[in-house]
């Protein structure tokens, strides 16, 4: 009897990630069709986004059929995203703002909810069409076939810890070098003005943070606590900038619905949105200073370059020597 130690490889990690996220995507499909709980849509979209992340992150280790490539998943995920955005707008209005509005503004919001309902119905039809499309059916079939017989590249047998720095550092660099970090620096402009002038830049930074976070989360099991903390901080950037962006989108949606400026039609709601953005802007400024600190940036790079000693998944296999 002998013991063999199996080290987690680039290819092993790819197979595990693709299996996990394709299962998550399929698990919530029925709930999306039923359309009784918006959480099903959210979870299926998360599954698709994570699957897309895995296809990008492990692209050097895997050879995927055309029907199961990243662009196909991204196209389908965007259809779900439109519907999800409308659900988020509705939930935000109902739960966060509506209860504290004066009766007159609550009454005027009925037309807004009616318009939201119309747009949601249209978006839902597009989602169902996407799920019934050949693209989606071929995606599922191709993933299933690939997982049954994975096709890997020549570098797939490399230990995962040997390739992690090369995989992650480009995403970290893309995040750290984004011009969005400098928004509001060396200026006395108010947050509202900065959002008008450079809102798209901050939205782009949020996307960069999201991509970096998703890639980093693929490999949390390969690193120690400092890495986990950096993942949390990157997620915080994504979250706070997302909340600011959502409030801007909500204001624009309300203005489009009523045909007037938000402050004229919904003065109390406009004030609440302004206060909310001010609060979130303060959160953003704290994170901004944290990530502009040279020590933070250097330590993040060093952390990514040094997976923990316990990163290798070792499985002891007992085998009997055959004569």
- Asked whether residue 69 is assigned to any structural domain, the reply reads yes
For residue 213 the two structure tokens come to 């976070």
- Asked whether residue 179 is assigned to any structural domain, the reply reads yes
Q: Are residues 55 and 140 in the same domain?
A: yes
Q: Are residues 154 and 206 in the same domain?
A: no
- Asked whether residue 321 is assigned to any structural domain, the reply reads no
> 146-160, 171-185, 242-256, 280-294: which range is least confident on average?
242-256
CA distance 157 to 142: 23
Q: Are residues 135 and 168 in the same domain?
A: no
Query: Taking the complete model, does pTM exceed 0.75, yes or no?
Result: yes
The string over 7-40, giving b where at least 16 C-beta atoms fall within 10 Å of a residue's C-beta and e elsewhere, is bbbbbbbbbebbeebbebbeebeebbeeeeebeb
Confidence (pLDDT) at 39: 95
Q: Are residues 34 and 149 in the same domain?
A: yes
* 219 phi and psi angles, rounded to 5 deg: -125, 25
Q: Which of 117, 140, 158 finishes a domain?
A: 158
311 pLDDT higher than 90: no
- Asked whether residue 318 is assigned to any structural domain, the reply reads no
Q: Are residues 187 and 261 in the same domain?
A: yes
Mean pLDDT of 212-218: 95
CB 201 within 8 A of CB 237: no
Q: Which of 91, 123, 158 finishes a domain?
A: 158
Q: Using 50, 70 and 90 to split pLDDT, how confident is the model at 186?
A: confident
**Structural domain total, the chain:** 2
* Averaged confidence pLDDT in the chain: 90
Q: Are residues 167 and 107 in the same domain?
A: no
Confidence (pLDDT) at 260: 74
Confidence (pLDDT) at 257: 83
CA distance 117 to 86: 9
- Asked whether residue 315 is assigned to any structural domain, the reply reads no
Mean pLDDT of 1-30: 85
For residue 310 the two structure tokens come to 């316990």
pLDDT tens per residue across span 227-237: 999 999 999 99
What is the span of the domain harbouring residue 206?
A: 159-310
Confidence (pLDDT) at 92: 92
Q: Are residues 248 and 116 in the same domain?
A: no
pLDDT tens per residue across span 237-286: 999 999 999 999 998 898 888 777 888 889 999 999 999 999 999 999 99
- Asked whether residue 43 is assigned to any structural domain, the reply reads yes
Q: Tell me the CATH number at 65.
A: 1.40.20.10
Mean pLDDT of 165-192: 94
Confidence (pLDDT) at 5: 56
Q: Are residues 181 and 126 in the same domain?
A: no
CA distance 190 to 286: 16
3 pLDDT higher than 80: no
Q: Are residues 153 and 168 in the same domain?
A: no
CB 181 within 8 A of CB 292: yes
Q: Are residues 23 and 61 in the same domain?
A: yes
Mean pLDDT of 85-108: 92
CA 17 from centre of chain:
16
Q: Which of 100, 130, 158 finishes a domain?
A: 158
Q: Are residues 64 and 16 in the same domain?
A: yes
- Asked whether residue 183 is assigned to any structural domain, the reply reads yes
The string over 142-153, giving b where at least 16 C-beta atoms fall within 10 Å of a residue's C-beta and e elsewhere, is bbeebeeebebb
Q: Are residues 230 and 272 in the same domain?
A: yes
CA distance 313 to 8: 5
**DSSP assignment of 114-143, as one string?**
HHHHHHHHHHHHHHHHHHTSHHHHHHHHHH
- Asked whether residue 320 is assigned to any structural domain, the reply reads no
Give the helix/strand (H/E) hosting 215.
helix 191-217
Dihedral Cα 124, 128, 134, 140, nearest 10 deg: 110
């Amino acid at each position: 009897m002998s013991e063999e130690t199996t080290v987690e490889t680039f290819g092993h990690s790819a197979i595990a990630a693709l299996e996990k996220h394709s299962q998550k995507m399929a698990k919530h499909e029925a709930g999306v069709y039923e359309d009784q709980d918006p959480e099903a849509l959210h979870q299926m979209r998360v599954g698709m986004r994570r699957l897309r992340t895995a296809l990008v992150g492990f692209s050097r280790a895997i050879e995927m059929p055309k029907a199961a490539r990243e662009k196909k998943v991204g196209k389908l995920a965007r259809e779900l995203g439109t519907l999800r955005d409308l659900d988020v707008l509705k939930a935000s209005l109902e739960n966060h703002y509506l209860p504290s509005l004066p009766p007159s503004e609550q009454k005027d919001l009925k037309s807004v909810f009616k318009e939201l309902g119309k747009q949601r119905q249209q978006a839902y039809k597009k989602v169902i069409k996407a799920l019934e499309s050949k693209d989606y059916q071929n995606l599922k079939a191709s993933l299933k076939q690939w997982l049954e017989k994975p096709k890997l590249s020549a570098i797939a047998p490399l230990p995962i810890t040997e390739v992690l720095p090369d995989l992650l550092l480009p995403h970290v660099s893309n995040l750290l070098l984004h011009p969005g970090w400098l928004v509001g620096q060396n200026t006395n402009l108010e947050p509202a003005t900065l959002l008008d002038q450079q809102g798209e830049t901050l939205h782009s930074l949020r996307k960069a943070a999201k991509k970096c976070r998703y890639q980093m989360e693929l490999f949390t099991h390969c690193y120690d606590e400092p890495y986990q903390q950096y993942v949390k901080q990157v997620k915080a950037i994504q979250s706070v900038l997302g909340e600011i962006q959502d409030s801007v989108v909500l204001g624009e949606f309300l203005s489009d619905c009523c045909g007037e400026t938000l402050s004229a039609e919904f003065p109390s709601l406009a004030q609440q949105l302004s206060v909310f953005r001010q609060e979130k802007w303060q959160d953003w400024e704290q994170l901004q200073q944290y990530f502009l600190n040279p020590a933070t940036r250097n330590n993040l790079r060093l952390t990514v370059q040094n997976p923990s000693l316990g990163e290798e998944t070792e499985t002891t296999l007992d085998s009997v020597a055959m004569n």
